[in-house]
C-alpha cells in the first residue's frame, strides 16, 4: 500500500466501500478497511478526517445516511442510499442513438477509436432497435485523423497549457517552431484545425494538424493563460473560415441520396431557369433532383460534394465544378495532393493572422 493517498482517491475509496457494504460500516470499519485512512492512527486525527469527508460527500450530492443498531443505540454506522444514488434507467430513442453514433464516427482517430467504439457498443445495448444507427445515412463526418498531434492538443486546450511544435506553413512551405496558446480545436474542411495565440507573433493564428511535424510538447504549467474573449474567438473562427461572400450552388442529386445537402437546401436563384434549360446539362438532370445550397469557397463545397461520389454533380458555378473535377482526377491518380489541382479559388492559408482589435 502506498505511504500516502490523496484526498480525492480516499473519497473515491470511501464511496466504493459504502456503496458495496451489505448493511452499514462503522467508523472503526472505515478506519481499518478503507485505503487512505491508515494515515490517521485513530483518535482526533481520524475523527476530523472522517467528518470532513462525510461533509464533502454530501456536498457532492452523494446520499450518505446514518444507520443505528437497534440493540446498541450508540453503535452508529454509515452507508449510501442506493435508491437515491442510482441513476434512472437509460433509454435512448433511435434518433438519439443515431446522433451519438454519428459523433462516435468523428472520433475515429487512432488515440480515441477504442474508447468511442466501446462506448457506442454499450449505448447500443440500451437503444431501441438494432438498426437505430442507420437513421442518418449520408451524414457521416468526413474528417481525416488528427494523428499524434490530436491527443496532446486536446489535453492542452482543456488544461490551458501552452504547446510547442514544428509547423510547415501552407503558403511558403517554411518549417519553423511555434509556441502556441491553444484555444480551440475544430473538425472541418476534411481535417483538424487548431486556433490559438502564436506567442512568437503575438497574434491569433490557425494551424492544420496535418502540417504539424513531429511531436507536440507541453510548455509551462497548467492554467497559464485565460480563455479568449467570446468576440475574440468568434473573430478568429470567422477569419479562418473566410471564403468570400455567400453564393448559391446548383447540384444534381440522385434520389434519396446526400441527405446532408438536401437538409440545407435553399430556394432557387433567379437564373436557375436559364441553367435548367441549358442543353449541355439536360443529360445530367435525367433521374436526378436539382438542389440549391449556399457556400462560400468553391474548393470547400467540392470537398463535401466529392464525398458522395456519383450521387452529386455540380452544375453551377463553374469554379466549384472545376474544383470537384480536380479532386476526382487527383483521387484517380492517387499520386498527388488535392491542393496541387485546385484552380483560382484556393484554400486560404491555414496559418492566418486574426485581427485582435
- The model's pLDDT over 263-283, given as tens digits with 9 standing for 90+, comes to 888 888 876 666 665 666 777
pLDDT of residue 190: 57
pLDDT of residue 108: 55
The chain-wide mean pLDDT, for the chain, equals 76
Q: Which of 206-210, 212-216, 279-283 has the highest mean pLDDT?
A: 212-216
- The x, y and z cell numbers of residue 342, run together, are 485546385
Closest Cα partner for 190 from 323, 94, 89, 73?
A: 323
> CB of 77 within 8 A of CB of 31?
no
Q: Which residues of 156-178 are buried (b: 16+ CB within 10 A; e: fewer)?
A: bbeebbbbebebbebeeeeeeeb
Closest Cα partner for 84 from 66, 69, 65, 68?
A: 65
Task: Give the model's confidence band at 102: pLDDT under 50 very low, under 70 low, under 90 confident, else very high.
Answer: low
CATH architecture of 147-241: Roll (2.30)
pLDDT of residue 83: 82
Residue 277 has a CB neighbour count (10 Å cut-off) of 9
pLDDT of residue 348: 47
Q: Which whole-number Å values give the CA distances from 299 to 13, 228, 335, 357, in the listed order? A: 55, 30, 19, 29
For the whole prediction, is pTM greater than 0.75? no
Is the domain covering 7-85 a CATH 3.40.5 domain?
Answer: no
- Checking if the pLDDT of 310 tops 80, the result is yes
For 159-179, what is each residue's pLDDT tens digit? 999 999 999 876 567 888 999
Query: DSSP secondary structure string, 168-221?
Result: E-TTT--EEEEEEEEEEEEEETTEEEEEEEETTTTEEEEEEGGGEEEEEEEES-
Closest Cα partner for 94 from 63, 71, 124, 117?
A: 124
- Checking if the pLDDT of 308 tops 90, the result is no
Residue 20 has a CB neighbour count (10 Å cut-off) of 11
What is the distance between the alpha carbons of residues 8 and 136, in angstroms, rounded to a whole number?
A: 41
- Checking if the pLDDT of 313 tops 80, the result is yes
What is the distance between the alpha carbons of residues 290 and 262, in angstroms, rounded to a whole number?
A: 10
pLDDT of residue 352: 47
Q: Which position has the grid cell 470537398?
A: 303
Domain extent listing, the chain: 7-85, 94-135, 147-241, 247-341
What is the distance between the alpha carbons of residues 40 and 49, in angstroms, rounded to a whole number?
A: 8
- Checking if the pLDDT of 315 tops 80, the result is yes
Amino acid at each position: 500500500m502506498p505511504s500516502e493517498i490523496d484526498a480525492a482517491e480516499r473519497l473515491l475509496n470511501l464511496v466504493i466501500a459504502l456503496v458495496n457494504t451489505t448493511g452499514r460500516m462503522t467508523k472503526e470499519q472505515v478506519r481499518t478497511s478503507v485505503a487512505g485512512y491508515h494515515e490517521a492512527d485513530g483518535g482526533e486525527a481520524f475523527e476530523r478526517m472522517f467528518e470532513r469527508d462525510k461533509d464533502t460527500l454530501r456536498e457532492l450530492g452523494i446520499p450518505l445516511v446514518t444507520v443505528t443498531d437497534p440493540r446498541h443505540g450508540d453503535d452508529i454506522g454509515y452507508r449510501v442510499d442506493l435508491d437515491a444514488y442510482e441513476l434512472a434507467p437509460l433509454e435512448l430513442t433511435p434518433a438519439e442513438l443515431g446522433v451519438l453514433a454519428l459523433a462516435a464516427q468523428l472520433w475515429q482517430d487512432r488515440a480515441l477509436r477504442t474508447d468511442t467504439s466501446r462506448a457506442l457498443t454499450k449505448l447500443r445495448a440500451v437503444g431501441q432497435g438494432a438498426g437505430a444507427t442507420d437513421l442518418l445515412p449520408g451524414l457521416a463526418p468526413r474528417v481525416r485523423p488528427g494523428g499524434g498531434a490530436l491527443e496532446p492538443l486536446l489535453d492542452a486546450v482543456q488544461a490551458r497549457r501552452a504547446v510547442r511544435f514544428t509547423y510547415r506553413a501552407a503558403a511558403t512551405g517554411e518549417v519553423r517552431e511555434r509556441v502556441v496558446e491553444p484555444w480551440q480545436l475544430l473538425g472541418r474542411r476534411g481535417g483538424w484545425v487548431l486556433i490559438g495565440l502564436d506567442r512568437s507573433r503575438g497574434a491569433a493564428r490557425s494551424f492544420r494538424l496535418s502540417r504539424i511535424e513531429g511531436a507536440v510538447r507541453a510548455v509551462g504549467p497548467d492554467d497559464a493563460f485565460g480563455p479568449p474573449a467570446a468576440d475574440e474567438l468568434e473573430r478568429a473562427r470567422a477569419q479562418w473560415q473566410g471564403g468570400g461572400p455567400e453564393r448559391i450552388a446548383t447540384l444534381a442529386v440522385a434520389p434519396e441520396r446526400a441527405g446532408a445537402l438536401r437538409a440545407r437546401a435553399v430556394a432557387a436563384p433567379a437564373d436557375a431557369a436559364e441553367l435548367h434549360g441549358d442543353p449541355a446539362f439536360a443529360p445530367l438532370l435525367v433521374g436526378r433532383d436539382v438542389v440549391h445550397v449556399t457556400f462560400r469557397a468553391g474548393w470547400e463545397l467540392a470537398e463535401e460534394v466529392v464525398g458522395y461520389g456519383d450521387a452529386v454533380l455540380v452544375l453551377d458555378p463553374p469554379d466549384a465544378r472545376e474544383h470537384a473535377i480536380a479532386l476526382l482526377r487527383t483521387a484517380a491518380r492517387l499520386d498527388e495532393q488535392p491542393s496541387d489541382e485546385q484552380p483560382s479559388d484556393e484554400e486560404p492559408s491555414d496559418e492566418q493572422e486574426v485581427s485582435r482589435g
